Chains A and B, each alone.
Chain A
């Protein structure tokens, strides 16, 4: 426990303190404030929080198939960040800050670097990144001398956590965290023999590798790793026909790594053996699922739906941008020392901060790799089956550290 809460703050209760800048398309509405004219207020400092995305991000394809099935979110997760700022506005306000989101998009790495320089020159200390893994990596490498802290909200690759950029935090879960969560669950069911199916993309391999590292830690037995293709030509049938891809071997469960999602969605119920499918299809690990109904999650999902005019359900990445904005707001609102942005930054990275992600645990960032500690939900289409860390998977200091690369395993690479 810290001593921060002994400071009772006389606060201006301006709830509608959020002004949205940039190209935000979604609306986040808050009721008007009820303020008492006698309530002492002090000068409020305006702070811009950056949000940097990619023009035409390929991860946000509107649809891939001609039946309008959405395999990827139709748009970027900026609404999550707007909601995070709005949710915590009253807290930041109580500490003398009025936060607003500055949404910027860039087309390539040169443009991204230029944007970061301009945002930093404009006084932005924290920038939420919604970028693919390789661009996060390049951007962090090319902006080392600039006084900004990035919060990566949508790149999952583990190598980013091992780069040890001092100013890169991650609210997106790493692949390893997601797969550790899944492996904990498989272990509780004694589904020990796993057939791994891997797609053709580098991201598919990254996920499959993370799963295999997790499986190794908890002693699951990966009986085979097979690749699949979407091509149905006769000479690729060994890698396309589900009966052949899943046949000729015994296993308890199938792990599929298919970031595109087009193969995986046809896999459950098509397998040779009557076995469950987990991974990117079937039972899927993520930061969030709209059907999670504990820990105040329903209210967050419901606010998100309202903010997007019910266009879509809240995804794991929407949660991660929400959490990133909330973390920054929380740091401004709660830091015991608000004299400089550096003090806010060091509080954000400290082990004293206790952030609420509506997942039942107090959250903070791991000091060794900047990764946000968090529970992971394992969900089907409409139900959360489990939310690791699961009972029985213990850790010497914090059970959340059973998910993801732990401190002794971590090395800067």
Chain B
């Protein structure tokens, strides 16, 4: 049905490189990688050749498209802005001011505002895009990072890296309604498509905590230790989930691997060796290809999600952080 249609229409990123098919859907198939230390978003073609580099404000990190994929928003931590990239022109066309050190953000369902974690100010801000003003302020534990809106936009989940908590925030009132204690240095989220689970990566306790959304309680702690590693070598950060909710891909940071996990049984299907300090991960719309940013080897690794093998690694800028695909 819907998923099948998407599969048919989506750009095929994986498979044989020489015959990589150009995008047939609305998207261009371009791959965007933010680079914290070289202050640029590098754009790769669907065949993984380098197309261009877009200069941004300082320390670009999290990125999100608008629904039409005409604009790409980039949080720039050292200039306290969210830059707006015009996807057709591949240029920054606007900068929206934020609080100190924006790291991760979510776009509201009506696309009129952002929810931004201000890493150095211990708060989540709601910023009205049109006016560039902060319209709501939620105090969090220190170093807020991951933010995740619920499907209906009524709840915002946010991690505090220092407080080791997930804050559950009512977006109407801006109040924290529950604090869920999770593992050490919680980073990022994924929501399962069935709406039942919220996964949280906890970098320093080497685990992913699964939160049952009905009760807001941690129901499972998953650990991932590739062969030859110890638990403390594993620092999970980035996550992405397939649209059918069957597989989660998780970056393991210092362990230089990603884990591909069966989302239902929570068992590891495969560990894939990537570059140094595997950090961010993005998935193509057809769920066939995942791309991982390697923060300490300044490259990205392309993974075929069906064979669960790495296809190739490609040089990026300095300290690649996040990756998104326009497909």
B205 touches A90 (CB 8 A): no
Is the interface on chain B under 10, 10 to 19, 20 to 34, or 35 or more residues?
Answer: 35 or more
Please name all residues of chain A whose beta carbon is closer than 8 Å to the beta carbon of B327 when the two chains form the complex.
none
Please name all residues of chain A whose beta carbon is closer than 8 Å to the beta carbon of B232 when the two chains form the complex.
361-362, 398-399
In the complex, A193 has a CB within 8 A of chain B: no
In the complex, B182 has a CB within 8 A of chain A: yes
A5 touches B223 (CB 8 A): no
B122 touches A30 (CB 8 A): yes
Please name all residues of chain A whose beta carbon is closer than 8 Å to the beta carbon of B311 when the two chains form the complex.
none
In the complex, A36 has a CB within 8 A of chain B: yes
Residue of B nearest to A359 (CB): B204
In the complex, A7 has a CB within 8 A of chain B: yes
A8 touches B205 (CB 8 A): no
With A34-B138, A90-B165, A362-B205 as contacts: A303 and B120 at CB distance below 8 Å: yes
Q: Which of A9, A34, A86, A299 contacts B137 (CB 8 A)?
A: A34
Please name all residues of chain B whose beta carbon is closer than 8 Å to the beta carbon of A15 when the two chains form the complex.
122, 139, 141
A354 touches B138 (CB 8 A): no
| Least CB distance, B240 to chain A, in whole angstroms | 22
Residue of B nearest to A353 (CB): B184
A91 touches B141 (CB 8 A): yes
Please name all residues of chain A whose beta carbon is closer than 8 Å to the beta carbon of B20 when the two chains form the complex.
none
- Please provide the chain A residues from 8 to 22 with a CB less than 8 Å away from any CB of chain B in the complex: 8-11, 13, 15
B139 touches A299 (CB 8 A): no
| Least CB distance, A150 to chain B, in whole angstroms | 24
| Chain B 155-182 interface 0/1 with A at a Cβ cutoff of 8 Å (1 = within) | 0000011111101001001111111111
Report how far A31 CA is from B123 CA in the complex, Å: 8
Residue of B nearest to A306 (CB): B120
Q: What's the dominant secondary structure at chain A's contact region? A: loop
Report how far A5 CA is from B208 CA in the complex, Å: 12
- Please provide the chain A residues from 179 to 200 with a CB less than 8 Å away from any CB of chain B in the complex: none
Residue of A nearest to B212 (CB): A8
In the complex, B101 has a CB within 8 A of chain A: yes
B163 touches A91 (CB 8 A): yes
| Least CB distance, B50 to chain A, in whole angstroms | 26
Please name all residues of chain B whose beta carbon is closer than 8 Å to the beta carbon of A7 when the two chains form the complex.
181
B139 touches A9 (CB 8 A): no
In the complex, A87 has a CB within 8 A of chain B: yes
A1 touches B179 (CB 8 A): no
A1 touches B207 (CB 8 A): yes
In the complex, A66 has a CB within 8 A of chain B: no
In the complex, B40 has a CB within 8 A of chain A: no
A34 touches B162 (CB 8 A): no
B101 touches A34 (CB 8 A): no
With A34-B137, A356-B204, A361-B232 as contacts: A8 and B217 at CB distance below 8 Å: yes
Residue of B nearest to A40 (CB): B178
Residue of B nearest to A4 (CB): B181
- Please provide the chain B residues from 80 to 119 with a CB less than 8 Å away from any CB of chain A in the complex: 101, 119
B176 touches A13 (CB 8 A): yes
A362 touches B184 (CB 8 A): yes
Residue of B nearest to A86 (CB): B142
A13 touches B101 (CB 8 A): no
Report how far A11 CA is from B174 CA in the complex, Å: 16
| Chain A 304-339 interface 0/1 with B at a Cβ cutoff of 8 Å (1 = within) | 000000000000000000000000000000100000
Residue of B nearest to A38 (CB): B177
B180 touches A360 (CB 8 A): no
In the complex, A33 has a CB within 8 A of chain B: yes
B161 touches A31 (CB 8 A): no
With A87-B162, A88-B162, A302-B120 as contacts: A9 and B185 at CB distance below 8 Å: no
Report how far A278 CA is from B165 CA in the complex, Å: 41
B209 touches A5 (CB 8 A): yes
B204 touches A34 (CB 8 A): no
| Nearest 3 CB-CB pairings of A with B | A36-B175, A11-B179, A8-B217
Residues of A within 8 A of B (CB): 1, 4-11, 13, 15, 30-36, 38-39, 86-88, 90-91, 94, 296, 299, 302-303, 334, 354-356, 360-362, 398-399
Given A32-B139, A303-B142, A360-B204; 12 other pairs, CB 8 A cutoff: A8-B216, A10-B178, A10-B179, A13-B167, A34-B139, A39-B177, A90-B160, A296-B161, A299-B143, A354-B184, A356-B164, A362-B184
